[in-house]
């Protein structure tokens, strides 16, 4: 039997996650069955269970993929010398999130993931780790701004970073529930609020 390449495995895994995400967006986590995912992916049970032993594992994998993507976008924005300011960084993150909603229903999935994390400890742990990561990235940027005198130094950088991290869930919630018109102009408004 020929050995399956890592690229093949990754493509198959992506195929399953993409199919599951479409099902979840359409029917929710609890109304979607494994059979729905198998049908959507066009795969056998064995092919899917080889990668994901349960629906909960698929949910965590989808959440991880989306969370990792947003952290990468934030790291890129912070690393981009043209947008080192907090407003520009946050605006870039919000714009990227809106693009991901258009393409992959990121905000819709995020809303479901937050709710599911209340009952799924693995998912809650993953969200906590991502929150810590986001706060750490932004805290470093806040500390730089505090050293330059563009942000007050009397509030800990981690606390201010927490305020900026809290903007993203509010943006995603409005986007998921009320559509793109509800968040139209918010990235520009963030730049206005935090021009540094």
CA distance 66 to 18: 11
Q: How many residues does the chain have?
A: 196
For the entire predicted model, the pTM comes to 0.85
Question: Among 73-77, 95-99, 176-180, which is the least confidently predicted range?
Answer: 73-77
Q: What is the dihedral of CA 186, 139, 103, 6, to 10 degrees?
A: 170
Q: List every span in the chain annotated with CATH 1.10.357.10.
A: 55-193
9: tokens are: 């495995």
107 burial type by CB count under 10 A (0-12 exposed, 13-18 middle, 19+ buried): buried
Provide the pLDDT for residue 74. Answer: 82
Across residues 83-94, what is the average pLDDT? 82
Q: Has residue 120 got a pLDDT over 90?
A: yes
Q: Which residues contact 34 (CB under 8 A, 6 or more apart)?
A: 45, 48, 55
């059979």: which residue's tokens?
35
The CATH number of the domain covering residues in 55-193: 1.10.357.10
The CATH number of the domain covering residues in 1-53: 1.10.10.60
Q: List every span in the chain annotated with CATH 1.10.10.60.
A: 1-53
The 10s digit of each residue's pLDDT in 13-68 is 999 999 999 999 999 999 999 999 999 999 999 999 999 999 999 999 999 998 88
């Amino acid at each position: 039997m020929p050995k399956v390449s890592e690229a093949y495995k990754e493509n198959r895994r992506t195929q399953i996650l993409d199919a599951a995400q479409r099902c979840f967006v359409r029917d929710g986590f609890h109304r979607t069955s494994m059979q729905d995912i198998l049908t959507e992916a066009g795969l056998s049970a064995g092919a899917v269970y080889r990668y994901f032993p349960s629906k909960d594992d698929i949910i965590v994998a989808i959440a991880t993929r989306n969370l990792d993507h947003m952290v990468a976008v934030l790291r890129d924005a912070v690393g981009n010398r043209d947008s080192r300011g907090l407003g520009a960084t946050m605006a870039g993150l919000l714009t990227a999130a809106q693009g991901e909603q258009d393409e992959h229903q990121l905000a819709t999935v995020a809303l479901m993931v937050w709710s599911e994390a209340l009952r799924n400890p693995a998912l809650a742990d993953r969200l906590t780790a991502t929150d810590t990561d986001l706060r750490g990235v932004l805290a470093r940027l806040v500390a730089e701004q505090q050293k330059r005198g563009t942000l007050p130094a009397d509030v800990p950088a981690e606390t201010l970073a927490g305020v900026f991290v809290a903007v993203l869930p509010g943006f995603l919630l409005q986007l998921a529930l009320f559509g793109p018109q509800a968040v139209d102009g918010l990235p520009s408004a963030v730049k206005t609020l935090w021009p540094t």
